[in-house]
A = this chain, B = another copy of it.
Amino acid sequence: MDSSSTLLAAMKTVLAGNQFPVALHEPSFSEREQQLVKDCLDSGYVSSVGEHVDRFELQLAEYLGADYVVAVVNGTAALHISLLLAGVVVSDEVIIPALSFVATANAVRYCGATPHFVDSEPHTLGIGPAKLSDYLAEILQLDGGVWRNKNTGCRVSAIVAMHTLGHPVDMGALNIVAARYGLPVIEDAAESLGSCYKGKMTGTLASIAAISFNGNKIITTGGGGAIVIRDKQLAVRAKHLTTTAKISHAWEIAHDETGFNYRMPNLNAALGCAQLERITAFIEQKRRLADAYSDAFFSVTGISVFQEPEFSRSNYWLNALLLDEADLDKRNAVLKLLNNEAIMARPVWTLMHKLPMYRDNPRMDLSVVEDLEQRLICIPSSPFLIEATGHA
């Protein structure tokens, strides 16, 4: 790898004109956000009922080309309900990538189920269908119509495919593997809103998907999430489960199951409506920023910028540098260098099977993510960074 100064020069070429410190990802608000939030306050409807939350759901469904959208308090809640919709119950195992944010694993635990960790493939960062196929053939056995993990005896009831840093999983291939065992696939599209796989939006590539609108995401509602659903019955159920399972009545207050208080407040949805109007522009900016990083690092030895998979058009939610070789010391040296220069950088998440509460969970060989963990460095990716630079 080139010297630190070469690497730093490349970063500074891209970030020139911006204010330091440069954060990893910050939102951008305009007059439009101010206006819709003001309208919401003026209406008096800021909570679980209101026109903005309905509008946000419709607007998002239209943007995605999706059938049904249910807005919720955050991406974690969206994952939790998605798993319940998929039929995950206590004592099941759910296949999830070891390379993910902890919410993916936590949501499985909220259902009383066990996260079962699988490997990624290097060119998508997401679950590798071929390796998963071999693994499932090895560990699954059919027992009274139910596919169980031979080693634990637990039913395996779903697969969560996480589109890491915004880059789409090879969903076509993954869906084929899942179908072989009748396993529902849930897209964890928390980071990939606006990313396409073979021309179709992530979030619409499986029967259920979860999206996040946290402050660091491509658009934000402050805190927020959404469940994207194909089946009408499931959509009705999602709405019911996220609104305390309340039975509709003019005045009686009754509930027919243990539901959740997961509805997105109207105030947050108002912000979301304005943000969603701007997503196409954000993605353009973010793709130009990704190009600028690629150009700047073209001639830097030993390091490159992670590129979207061939079959995809990514939102490049978070750009990442990729060391040619796995080397934790080098990775940490780069992290230190950048953070010391007020350029926020971070590694990928600590792999799920290395966290104390998931250390003993079932898992396959995880050599690809173990390698990637030592090579990836996430770098600043706010959409507005490219404007300040003057990059055309």
Chain A contact residues, CB within 8 Å of chain B: 26-27, 29, 33-34, 37-38, 41-42, 44-49, 73-77, 101-103, 105-106, 109-110, 112, 214-216, 220, 222-223, 244-245, 250-261, 263-268, 271, 335, 339, 344-350, 354-357
Q: Is the CB of A339 within 8 A of B215?
A: no
Would A215 and B103 be within 8 Å (CB), given that A26-B44, A76-B260, A347-B251 are in contact? no
- The answer to whether A220 and B46 have CB atoms under 8 Å apart is yes
Given A45-B215, A46-B27: A222 touches B75 (CB 8 Å cut-off):
no
Q: Contact check: which of B27, B112, B267, B344 meets A44 at CB < 8 Å?
A: B27
Q: In the assembled complex, which residues on chain B have CB atoms less than 8 Å from the CB atom of A222?
A: 46-47, 265-268
Q: Are B48 and A261 in contact (CB under 8 A)?
A: no
Q: Is the CB of B357 within 8 A of A252?
A: no
Q: A263 contacts which chain B residues (CB < 8 A)?
A: 223
Contacts A29-B44, A251-B347, A267-B267 given: A73-B73 contact, CB under 8 Å? Answer: yes
User: Is the CB–CB distance between A223 and B265 below 8 Å?
Assistant: yes
**In the complex, A344→B251 CA distance in Å?**
8
CB pair B347–A271 under 8 Å, yes or no, is no
Q: A108 to B263, alpha carbons, bound, how many Å?
A: 20
Q: Once the chains bind, are A34 and B27 in contact (CB under 8 Å)? A: no
Quick check: A46 and B339 within 8 Å, CB to CB?
Answer: no
B350 near A216 with CB under 8 A, answer: no
Contact residues in B for A47 (Cβ distance below 8 Å): 27, 214-216, 220, 222-223
Question: Are B244's CB and A102's CB within 8 A?
Answer: yes
**Which B residues are in CB contact (< 8 Å) with A48?**
214-215, 223
Residues in chain B near residue A261, CB distance under 8 A: 74-77, 103, 106, 223
Query: Which B residues touch A214, using CB under 8 A?
Result: 47-48
**A346 contacts across to B, CB distance below 8 A:** 251-253
- A102: shortest Cβ distance to chain B, in Å? 5
* Smallest CB gap from A345: residue in B: B251
Alpha-carbon distance A251/B21, docked complex (angstroms): 14
Asked whether A106 and B259 contact (CB < 8 A) given A44-B27, A46-B222, the answer is: yes
User: Do B257 and A215 touch across chains, with their CB atoms under 8 A apart?
Assistant: no
Residues on B with C-beta less than 8 A from A101 are 253
A47-B215, A77-B261, A254-B355 given; name 19 further pairs at CB < 8 Å: A27-B44, A29-B46, A37-B37, A46-B222, A47-B223, A48-B223, A76-B261, A101-B253, A102-B253, A105-B258, A106-B258, A222-B265, A222-B268, A251-B335, A251-B339, A253-B350, A255-B357, A256-B357, A258-B357
Most buried by B among A214, A222, A259, A347: A222
Interface centre among A266, A335, A357 (most CB of B within 10 A): A357
Closest residue of chain B to A24 (Cβ to Cβ) is B251
Contacts of A345 in B (CB 8 A): 251
Write out the residue numbers on chain B whose beta carbons fall within 8 Å of the beta carbon of A260: 76, 106
Chain B nearest CB: distance from A353 CB in Å? 12
Which residue of B is nearest A223, CB measured?
A: B265
* Chain B residues in 8 Å Cβ range of A271: 41, 46, 267
